[in-house]
Amino acid sequence: MMSIEERLQDPDAGIRRVAVLDLMDSDVDDPVPFLLAALDDSDAAVRLEAVRALESVERQEVIEALAKCLRDSDEAVRNATAEVLAELKMATSAQPLIDLLIHPDPFVRVAALNGVKALRVDAAFGPALVSLEHELPEVRRAAVGVLGYLRHPHAIGHLAMLAAQDDAPEVRRAAVGALGYSTEVSVLPALKRAMRDDEWMVREESAATVGKLALSAGIPELIEVLADPYWQVRVKAARSLGRLKAAAGVPALIEQLGHGSSNLRKEAVIALGEIGDARAITALEAAMDDSDPDVRKLARLALATIQVADHHQRAS
């Protein structure tokens, strides 16, 4: 039977890949040198497994070797490397990523941006701003993720502009989501504009973000969004109205109980229970006969919540 060392040199890439998988559980005294060697394998699948196997090895030579893998010709290897460097959380693991944040190869840059995001290092702020001007939406979207995680107040204006003006809907959506990491109420105008975006996924993200940030000044727009042609957008608006306990949204939420999407009816029922307004009692009683068993169950729970609250209010 071949040893792991022999299998790592086998002409068959499949055998080499399995050998890499077995290394960390083998009786080899120090598997790291073998894994580092596998990072130069001719087969991308072998290199990918070697990168993943190094995810918990906090050694400087590993950081240096992984830094080279950020330039790998295979996208999966680059992305896995960025994730591993971010997970290592070593003081030196951020620098290789930072060094590549303005790399001329856009796909290398994306991998570095995705990796440095979780580390939340201030040194990434400037390069991320530069990447907002890149011609490829993949780069701009990755840069948006970094700026959102950093929660830098100076990034809000840039993110708001992208949310409104970027020509790629995935970038606008990412910018709206990144605004959700802010604690500044100044993001509300951008979110209101985003709820009127031509792309439904942007509107959906914005409706969710208003609720996440508990921006009660956005309630009128959330109520308007309950008439959106996409039920997915309405779901997020209903959820946010419930979180905000928006009594003004009760009539519009009641209307959703007749919608064809059971997912939307469930969210509307939950929101009505969270708001706790007695005006919803009749509609919730009717919802207990809904064709969807989850809607019926949630309607009973919401109705009980409202009735108990109404009883206490009358007693006081």
Total length of the chain:
316
Asked whether 107 and 73 are in contact (CB, 8 A), the reply is: no
For the chain (length 316 residues), average pLDDT per consecutive 10?
86 95 86 94 96 90 91 93 83 84 91 88 94 96 95 91 96 96 87 97 98 96 98 98 98 98 98 95 96 97 86 63
Burial classification of residue 2, based on how many CB atoms lie within 10 Å of its CB (0-12 exposed, 13-18 middle, 19 or more buried): exposed
Give the distance from CA 12 to its chain's centroid.
38
Asked whether 10 and 16 are in contact (CB, 8 A), the reply is: yes
Cα torsion 266, 294, 263, 257: sign: negative
Q: Residue 313: what pLDDT?
A: 65
Give the distance from CA 249 to its chain's centroid.
27
Asked whether 200 and 231 are in contact (CB, 8 A), the reply is: no
22: part of which helix (H) or strand (E)?
helix 13-23
Report how far apart, in Å, the C-alpha atoms of 97 and of each of 85, 86, 268, 313 are: 8, 9, 44, 58
Query: How many CB atoms sit inside 10 A of residue 237's CB?
Result: 35
Q: Token digits for 63?
A: 């950081």
Q: Residue 185: what pLDDT?
A: 76
Where do we find the tokens 């290092």? 121
What's the Rg (C-alpha) of the chain?
26
Q: Residue 46: what pLDDT?
A: 96
Among candidate residues 297, 165, 275, 150, the one with its CA nearest the CA of residue 222: 275
Q: Give Cβ neighbours of residue 48 (< 8 Å, ≥ 6 apart).
A: 74, 76, 77, 80
Q: How far is residue 81's CA from residue 100's CA, in Å, rounded to a whole number?
A: 13
Query: How many CB atoms sit inside 10 A of residue 148's CB?
Result: 22
Q: Residue 1: what pLDDT?
A: 65
Pseudo-torsion of CA 199, 225, 285, 309, nearest 10°?
120
Q: Residue 158: what pLDDT?
A: 94
Q: Residue 314: what pLDDT?
A: 66
Asked whether 65 and 97 are in contact (CB, 8 A), the reply is: no
